[in-house]
Amino acid sequence: MHRLPPLNALRAFDVAARHMSFQKAAEELNVTPSALSYQIRQLEGFLDVRLFERLNRAVRLTEAGERIVPGVRDAFERLAGAMERLKSASPPNVLTVSTGPSFAAKWLSPRLHKFLEQHPDIDIRISANMRLADFDNDAVDVAIRFGAGKYRGLHVEALADEHVLPLVSPKVLEEFGGRLEPVDLARLTLLHDDSANFLPNASSWADWLRLAHMDDIDASRGRHFSHADHALEAALDGAGIVLGRLMLSVRDIALGRLVAPFDLMLRPQAAFFFCCLPSRLEEAKIKAFRTFLFDEIREEQAFLRTFLGGKRTA
């Protein structure tokens, strides 16, 4: 490995090149101008090349100085970022999971007690919001994201294939004699989950009705919700029929609180993904949460195989 110049001398060069003034650089670094000038000369001596042209009342970078400025600046920015990540990292026994409010409410929270029973030493904290976590600056260990799975710089794994399908409460189904036909949708309030509308080609009632050959039903009518769990809760209360995501509704379906009256489902171009920094995948707390997550997914698969057996996907 090549021997590096003194760090203080590199820092002096970086600040002086940014200000193009030894005086202002000295003020920022809280040193005297003569001390800063000495550090610059020390760096030039180490590199055996002049980095600044000293003019009467100003300085100017030489060609050599211009060449090394980007690399030196980038190195200090990376160093500052590394220190910031170290400061923002959660303690070893604290696991912070960032996810959307709907996934937190409908899937994660009802199952979280199992993780706590398995790992009582881990203090798990759920950060439920729609903002994508910044792994470099936020104190976040893991994220569960809904989207296309293209998250640069992260380890990304799909939790399961996603489906979108009409769901209704058993009470509403009984009002129609225990069976619904697509034509009956004209008499029901359509409940719209708009939370995935940030995605191109997000699945909608218009898509489902078109594939069901029900073009005479107005797909825009009904109630709209910005959170998926709110739309599902409205359906649970008998407020109408929702076009819901299977992963968020599977527990309600398994418990008989929601039923799927039609066999037609949509396959969206999105799913839920487990995300973390690749360098942290083998950390004990992250490894434990990932194992718990996929164990729960596998446990669901037996029910889903039976449920999906009578459905068709468009």
Report yes or no: 242 and 193 within 8 Å, Cβ to Cβ: yes
User: What's the pLDDT band for 154 if we cut at 50, 70, 90?
Assistant: very high
State the pLDDT at residue 110.
95
CA 224 remoteness from chain centre: 24
Report yes or no: 36 and 12 within 8 Å, Cβ to Cβ: yes
124 by Cβ neighbours in 10 Å (0-12 / 13-18 / 19+) ranks as buried
List the beta bridge partners of residue 166.
Answer: 243
C-alpha pair distances (Å), 182 with each of 9, 50, 208, 210, 231: 75, 80, 10, 11, 20
| Statement: residue 1 has pLDDT above 60 | no
State the pLDDT at residue 63.
94
Taking residue 174's Cβ as centre, other Cβ atoms within 10 Å add up to 10
Q: What's the mean per-residue pLDDT of the chain?
A: 91
- The mean pLDDT value for 294-310 works out to 90
Where in the chain is CATH 1.10.10.10?
Answer: 7-88
| Statement: residue 87 has pLDDT above 60 | no
94-160+271-293 folds as D-Maltodextrin-Binding Protein; domain 2 (3.40.190)
Where in the chain is CATH 3.40.190.10?
Answer: 94-160+271-293, 164-269+305-313
7-88 folds as Arc Repressor Mutant, subunit A (1.10.10)
- The mean pLDDT value for 286-309 works out to 93
Taking residue 151's Cβ as centre, other Cβ atoms within 10 Å add up to 15
Structure tokens at 311: 């459905």
List the beta bridge partners of residue 313.
Answer: 265
Class of domain 164-269+305-313: alpha beta
Length of the chain: 314
State the pLDDT at residue 131.
82
* Block residue for tokens 């904290």: 125
pLDDT in tens, 27-43: 999 999 999 999 999 99
| Statement: residue 89 has pLDDT above 70 | no
User: What's the pLDDT band for 309 if we cut at 50, 70, 90?
Assistant: confident
| Statement: residue 84 has pLDDT above 70 | no
State the pLDDT at residue 56.
81
- The mean pLDDT value for 182-190 works out to 94
| Statement: residue 108 has pLDDT above 70 | yes
